[in-house]
Amino acid sequence: MKEKIIEFIYPENSKHLFEDVFPIPAKLNIPSWFKKLNHTREYRTIKGCMPFLDTLRAGYILKLSQDFYFKYNFTNENNQKDSEFAVGWQSYERSVLDIKGMNVNAGDPQSHPTGQLGKDCPFHKKNKDQPYFKILNPFIIKTPPGYSCLFVPVLNNNDDRFQIIPGIVDTDTFDLPVNFPIIINGDRYPNLETIIKRGTPYAQVIPFKRDNWKMIFSEGRRKNYFISKLKICRQFINNYKDAFWVKKKWN
């Protein structure tokens, strides 16, 4: 099967600025705790679960192109709850970077006010009624005609301090960088002052073909059920992998 191409376009004459934080296939971001696990007949672990491993390998990983500083949900001098957000290139004028075609955070932080998601959105509570700061992504992402991208927090391997708000973008027609509003994990960190380092993985990009779907309901075909049941029970380990799993390639 011919490989589809996903292209990550960086600003002209800027390879030296971004090369060390270029996006990577997700398979190169497998967590160390997962690699250390053993999966045997005597002791089965999640390392033998191919659906879980597929989430770790699916698509591509975006990394932060600059350091981010957060001081989140503190009480300011007016006795009000507040948050601060700063970046490594804070002193650069936004207009200068725009001229150079660099879509990175600088100057005043970009954010979405809490009202845009409403009071009933679960993100509102998690983010402690603070603005949704935005990570600007320097890469334009292009996919073949008919293909979009699902953007999600890094699946089963995300930084526990923050996450992007997931979204789908039609990257075959959208010719601008995709930017990412984020939520601070206020459930774990009611107050947080931290630096999230350049190179930290923050988003997983999963391209997919746009197809039209229709949901139907049908009575179960018990013959197929029993055949699948027999296949899944005929060996000690790697049952699903050997009988049902289809290898996916993300290079």
What's the pLDDT score for residue 91? 56
Cα-Cα-Cα-Cα dihedral of 115, 173, 59, 55, to 10°? Answer: 50
Contacts of 174 by beta carbon, 8 Å cutoff, 6+ apart: none
Residue 8 has pLDDT above 90, yes or no: yes
* pTM score above 0.75: yes
Kindly tell me if the per-residue pLDDT of 225 is higher than 90.
Answer: no
List domains and CATH numbers for the chain: 7-20+60-220 (2.70.40)
- Establish how many alpha carbons lie within 13 A of residue 197's alpha carbon, considering only the half-sphere containing its beta carbon: 1
55-88 per-position pLDDT tens digit: 999 999 999 999 999 999 898 888 888 898 888 6
Sign of the Cα torsion 37, 39, 44, 45 reads: positive
| Interval 172-201: pLDDT, tens | 999 999 999 999 999 999 999 999 999 999
Instruction: Work out the pLDDT band at 227, boundaries 50, 70, 90.
Output: confident
